A = this chain, B = another copy of it.
Amino acid sequence: MTAPVRRGRPRSENADVRILEAAHELLVERGYDRFAMDEVAARAAVAKTTLYRRWPTKDHLLVALVAKIQDEVSVADTGDIRRDLSVYLTAVATGLDRMRRVGRDLTGEEDRSAGVVAELVAAAARHPDVGDVVRNLFARRNALPLALLDRARERGALAPGTSSEVLFDQLAGALYYRLLVTGAPIGADYVEELVGQVLAGTGATRHPERT
């Protein structure tokens, strides 16, 4: 296995940085649809060629950008599965809400639309490879909470037959469903109620077990 010999002028890392910064700025300012590649190039002081050498499509660039800027949601395992899930989901909900606001000036709650998240979902639907990226992204992102659920089941905090995947779908799905489809609000109390109801039948005690 030989080292991949690089010839010619190497790609400017500086360009990458400037592009992503410009793109980020522009996405925040304008939102997904009024985001224009021409303007990213102009702002980053970069040729469009340079953009397209890196990302074959506006959708690709934006997915990459979002993948980069979305914060790692940390998962704490305190042994209290109910609390851990609440904390985790609240963090996710907060992140989604921040995404939702990107590119629009929302003062009140008047606009309940899903914003960038919805556009990314559509982008994933348009290009199979973007879809792959998104799915990978979520697979990685969800690995931690899934492991958390697995450990809870192992120590008996969840009923043995419970599927972590399905359980997680119930939780995350509810959030995304509200965000993308019904537009219903996702407050702290909703998360609480959701977690409570989901855990109700899984053998989780109302008060945390001690390890």
Contacts and interface: CB of A to CB of B under 8 A. Distances in A.
A36 interface: no
A52 interface: no
A55 interface: no
A169 B178 contact: yes
A70 interface: no
Interface stretch (A17-25, A73-81, A111-119): A111-119
When all copies of this chain in the complex are counted, the total is: 4
Nearest to A114: B125
Contacts of A114: 121-122, 124-125
A94 interface: no
Interface in A171-200: 171-178, 180-184, 190, 193-194, 197-200
14 contacts: A111-B128, A111-B131, A112-B135, A113-B128, A114-B124, A116-B125, A117-B125, A118-B122, A118-B124, A119-B126, A125-B180, A142-B182, A166-B193, A169-B174
Nearest 6 A/B pairs, CB to CB? A201-B201, A173-B173, A200-B201, A173-B177, A118-B125, A122-B122
Interface of A: 32-33, 110-119, 121-122, 124-126, 128, 131, 134-135, 138-139, 142, 159, 162-163, 165-167, 169-178, 180-184, 190, 193-194, 197-202
